[in-house]
Amino acid sequence: MAKIFIDGIECEAHPKQTIIQIADGINNGGKQIVDIPRFCYHPALAVAGNCRMCLVEFGLPGRNKDGSPQLDESGNPVIRWMPKLTTACTTEISDGMHVKTHHTSQVVADAQKGVLEFILINHPLDCPICDQAGECPLQQITYKYGPEESRYEFEKVHKPKREKWGTKIVFDGERCINCTRCVRFFDEYTETHELEIVQRGWNNYPALAPDQTPDENRYAMNVIDLCPVGALTSSDHRFNARVWEMSATDTISVADARCSSVRLWVRDNRVMRLTARPNPLVNGFFISDDDRLNYKWINDNRADAPTIKVGNAQQTADWPNAIQKAAELLRRYRPDEIFVLASARASLETNFVVKKFATEILKTQHLDFLRHIEGADDALLIRADKTPNALGCDMLGIAPAAGGISADDLPEAVWSGKIKCVLAIEDTVEEWLSPEVRAKLEALILLPHNLSDALNEADVVLPAATFAEQIGTFLNFEGVLQLARPAKALKHQNRELMKEMALSRWDKHATQFDRWSSEENKIDAKPAWEILCELSGTMGKAFGYQTAREIFAEIATSLSAFNELDYQKLGKIGVKLEGVNV
Ligand code: SF4
Ligand code: SF4
Ligand code: FES
């Protein structure tokens, strides 16, 4: 292994690694050693070296004519500095190399200031109305290293504005700095080549290639995250919220069995957008557009407050009464007349409590969960299994016990009158039990996320919190266990959960007059495990869990693959479980 020195800091490096990779901490567990500003470089894309922002000085140890190292009077190697600056993203290291960044070299700092002045010559600088403001590398780097003002007094070059690249992306050519990240993404990651650079000199910009549209590309919206300026915005999120108004919670996507790592951006308890979060164990740097756009159901059409069926109508009830009613119904039937539907959309903690409730309280052998398979796996990230926790359900043993009825056989069992009562947790029953079959049921108790036809028929509805409103673990199809963290608050917020919640800059720094958050977006729902714990108490054997953490601790002691794990150890990227049959 070679040694190089960046601003005097000794770093280990492999041949073929570049200066910027070492500075970014590629051999240091990803912990950055020195910050080098950049626009075109991205670790997931081929090196382009076109923005010139990552300039550094470098030198190599001098050699005597006989090949021995040149030493100064103190016995230290003499460093021969190169006469010109180089780009850190394109320059490969060599043993003994010394590098000076803008932190230690005035020449580099001046050169970077010059590069920024060139980049900004034709840039509109409309930060106050730009969606990227507040998270814009160009804005941040200019504040840190750029010139204070422009010396350019002529009319700027004009390029296409607000150009729709299909239905998902909007392009602003004047903000583009021609870094080519978007072009390289389509060429290298999806290999679909939707973009090309057109025109020459300072008139050039990326444009859709003839007859191309990114609409069919299920990863196209990654270019919005990749773009280091506000040139590419999402049609879905554009002008909906400023960055500083939103809290960003590191969590996971529940769109499919990959459970890609994502960030949920929330303002006033509404999810405003979802962006990619790098995770080498799960999704690399990118997510699918299915992940990115899978959030509106968290805000809208929610089951909000418990209800009890009175006559043919649903009547709002308070939680104790609704739970009392559910307990009464469940007591009315023999164990073999009750079916419990767990959910691959729910956390491990909830499924653990569901199984405990089915076996210890209801004592029924009829327990199962539904698999939601749509289409096929693709070669990149998308999975046909549209649930985030099917492997977790399998590991917990969510399945009918001996003589029990499976989810597939349930419609028949209801039709024949064998099953009279269904308790369904965090899953949709419509696509599995037809209206005619549901009409045969004597009792239907639902713990749903969203409103649906079946809710009108249910005897008791106890609204369940989504993954975005509670903490819990999910096991993806490859056996990576990750933590979903609460991004938005519920009406009856468990105070334990509040500690896990991210805060926005607005939450932290705004005065009370700047805030316009309200209570009205808080949903009256509870984590399903919490509802079942209350139900267990009403039915005579309280489980007594106060937090999801306690449930996870019990899972960790009962399943060997989870041994010695806790939320702390899962961190931001999760843990790949050993010995899991994936
Ligand atoms: S791209 Fe960045 S620097 Fe340019 S206007 Fe938008 S926020 Fe400002
Ligand atoms: S649109 Fe953005 S990502 Fe594409 S070349 Fe321009 S600045 Fe780079
Ligand atoms: S980041 Fe190195 S040239 Fe652009």
Helix ranges (H only) for 222-277 are 222-226
Alpha carbon distances (Å) from 547 to 141, 234, 393, 475, 530: 43, 37, 20, 19, 8
- The CA distance from 362 to 461, in Å, is 18
Domain with CATH 3.30.200.210 in the chain: 243-301+468-509
In terms of Cβ atoms closer than 10 Å to its own Cβ (0-12, 13-18, 19+), residue 579 is: exposed
E-assigned strand segments in 426-551: 443-447, 460-461, 472-475, 480-484
Q: What is the pLDDT of residue 259?
A: 98
Mean pLDDT to the nearest integer, 173-190: 97
Cβ partners under 8 Å of residue 405, min gap 6: 339, 366, 368, 413, 418, 419
CATH code 3.40.50.1170 for 153-234: no
User: Using 50, 70 and 90 to split pLDDT, how confident is the model at 492?
Assistant: confident
- Residue 206 CA: nearest ligand 2 atom is 5
Give the Å distance between the CA of 184 and the centre of ligand 3.
14
Task: Give the bridge partners for 163, in sequence order.
Answer: 171
For the CA of 51, the nearest atom of ligand 3: 4
Ligand 3 atom showing the smallest separation from residue 50 Cα: 3
Give bridge partners of residue 337 from the DSSP assignment: none
Helical (H) or strand (E) element with 240: none
Phi, psi of 308 (to 5 degrees): -125, 140
- Is the ipTM of this structure higher than 0.95? yes
Q: Tokens for 189?
A: 């990651």
Residue 564: pLDDT band with limits 50, 70, 90:
confident
Q: Where does CATH 3.40.50.740 sit in the chain?
A: 307-467+526-576
Q: How confident is the model at residue 581 (pLDDT cuts 50, 70, 90)?
A: low
Distance of CA 320 to the CA centre of its chain: 35
Residues 4, 22: contact at Cβ < 8 Å? yes
Counting ligands in written order, the one closest to the CA of 206 is: 2
**Integer angstrom CA distances of residue 193 from 182, 199, 208, 378, 538:** 10, 18, 9, 18, 60
Residue nearest to atom 3 of ligand 1 (CA): 139
Q: Per residue in 361-410, pLDDT tens?
A: 999 999 999 999 999 999 999 999 999 999 999 999 999 999 999 999 99
- Provide DSSP, 409-449: THHHHHHTTS--EEEEESS--TTTS-HHHHHH-SEEEEE-S
Can you read off the two tokens belonging to residue 128? 């106050």
Give the pLDDT confidence score for residue 517 in this predicted structure.
67
Q: What's the pLDDT score for residue 1?
A: 86
We find that the CATH architecture of domain 243-301+468-509 is 2-Layer Sandwich (3.30)
What is the side-by-side strand order in the sheet with 163-165? Answer: 163-165, 169-171, 232-234
Give residue 475's Cα distance to chain centre.
Answer: 15
State in Å: Cα 229 to ligand 3 middle: 15
Which residues does residue 548 pair with via DSSP β-bridges, in sequence order?
none
Encoding tokens for residue 439?
């009409």
Per-residue model confidence (pLDDT) at position 565: 94
What pLDDT, in 10s, does the model give residues 266-299? 998 999 999 999 999 999 999 999 999 999 999 9
Please state the atom number of ligand 1 nearest to the C-alpha of residue 230.
Answer: 1
Ligand 3 atom index nearest CA of 40: 4
Cα 172 to ligand 1 centre (Å): 11
In degrees, rounded to 5, the angle at the alpha carbon of residue 97 between the alpha carbons of residues 91 and 103 is: 80
Give span(s): CATH 3.30.70.20, the chain: 153-234
* Residues listed for the chain: 582
Q: How far is the CA of 529 from the centre of ligand 1 (A)?
A: 45
CATH 3.10.20.740, the chain: domain bounds: 2-116
- Of 105-109, 182-186, 201-205, 325-329, the one with minimum mean pLDDT is 201-205
pLDDT value at position 303? 97
The percentage of residues in the chain with a pLDDT greater than 70, rounded to a whole number, is 98
Q: Could you tell me the distance, in angstroms and rounded to a whole number, from the CA of residue 378 to the centre of ligand 3?
A: 32
Three-state DSSP class for residue 71: strand
Determine the Cα–Cα distance for residues 105 and 449; give it in Å rounded to an integer.
57
Point out the ligand 3 atom lying closest to the alpha carbon of residue 38: 1
Span from the CA of 91 to the centroid of ligand 3 (angstroms):
10
Ligand in nearest proximity to the CA of 43: 3
Mutate to test the pocket of ligand 1, among 131, 132, 141 (most ligand atoms within 8 A of CB): 132
463 is written with which tokens? 């609204």
* CB distance 126 to ligand 1 below 6 Å: yes
Q: Which ligand 2 atom is the nearest neighbour of the CA of 178?
A: 5
- The beta-strand segments (E) located in 259-321 are 261-267, 270-276, 307-310, 313-316
Q: Ligand 2, closest atom to CA 197? A: 5
Residues 6+ apart with CB under 8 A from 227: 132, 179, 181, 182
User: Which protein residues touch ligand 2 with a CB less than 6 Å away?
Assistant: 176-182, 206, 226-229, 231-232
> How does 24-63 read in b/e, with b if 16+ C-beta sit within 10 Å?
bebbeeeeebbebbbbbbbeebebbbbbbbbbbbbbbbee
pLDDT at 510 exceeding the cut of 80: no
The token pair at 7 is: 């601003």
pLDDT value at position 148? 84
Tokens read off for 223: 């270019």
Q: Tell me the ligand closest to 194's alpha carbon.
A: 2
Q: Give the tens place of pLDDT for each residue, 94-141.
A: 999 999 999 999 999 999 999 999 999 999 988 999 999 999 999 999
Nearest CA to ligand 1 atom 8: 127
Q: Which atom of ligand 2 is nearest to the CA of 195?
A: 4
Which ligand is closest in space to the CA of residue 226? 2
Q: Is the pLDDT of residue 480 over 80?
A: yes
Residue 51, pLDDT above cutoff 70: yes
Separation of CA 82 and ligand 3 centre (Å)? 19
> 53-62, 387-396, 507-516, 550-559 — which is least confidently predicted?
507-516
**Residue linked to tokens 């899962």:** 570
Query: How far, in Å, from the CA of 40 to the mean position of ligand 2?
Result: 9
What is the rounded average pLDDT of the residues 10-34?
94
**Which ligand approaches the C-alpha of residue 24 most closely?**
3
Of the residues 177, 198, 202, 203, which should be mutated to test ligand 2's pocket, given the most ligand atoms within 8 Å of the CB?
177
Q: Following DSSP, what letter does each residue of 136-191 receive, concatenated?
A: -HHHHHHHHHS-SS----SPPPP---SEEETTTEEE-TTT-----HHHHIIIIIS-
Q: Which CATH class is domain 2-116?
A: alpha beta
C-alpha pair distances (Å), 94 with each of 12, 75, 89, 98, 100 = 11, 21, 14, 9, 15
CA separation for the pair 158, 161 (Å, rounded): 9
Is 315 a residue whose pLDDT tops 60? Answer: yes
Q: Which residue has the tokens 């993404």?
A: 185
Q: Is 229 in the pocket of ligand 1 (CB under 6 A)?
A: yes
**Which ligand is nearest the CA of 173, by number?**
2
Atom 7 of ligand 1 has which residue's CA nearest to it? Answer: 133
Q: Is 369 helix (H, G, I), strand (E, B) or coil?
A: coil
CATH for 307-467+526-576, options being 3.30.1280.10, 1.20.1290.10, 3.40.50.970, 3.40.50.740? 3.40.50.740
Q: Which DSSP helix (H) or strand (E) runs through 67? A: none
Mean pLDDT of 10-39: 94
Q: What is the pLDDT of residues 346-372, one digit of tens each?
A: 999 999 999 999 999 999 999 999 999
Mutate to test the pocket of ligand 1, among 127, 179, 182, 232 (most ligand atoms within 8 A of CB): 127
Can you say how many angstroms the Cα of residue 335 is from the centroid of all Cα atoms in its chain? 40
What average pLDDT is seen over the chain? 94
Contact (CB, 8 A) for 488 and 269: yes
Measured from the alpha carbon of residue 137, the closest ligand is 1
Euclidean distance between CA atoms 273 and 246, whole angstroms: 9
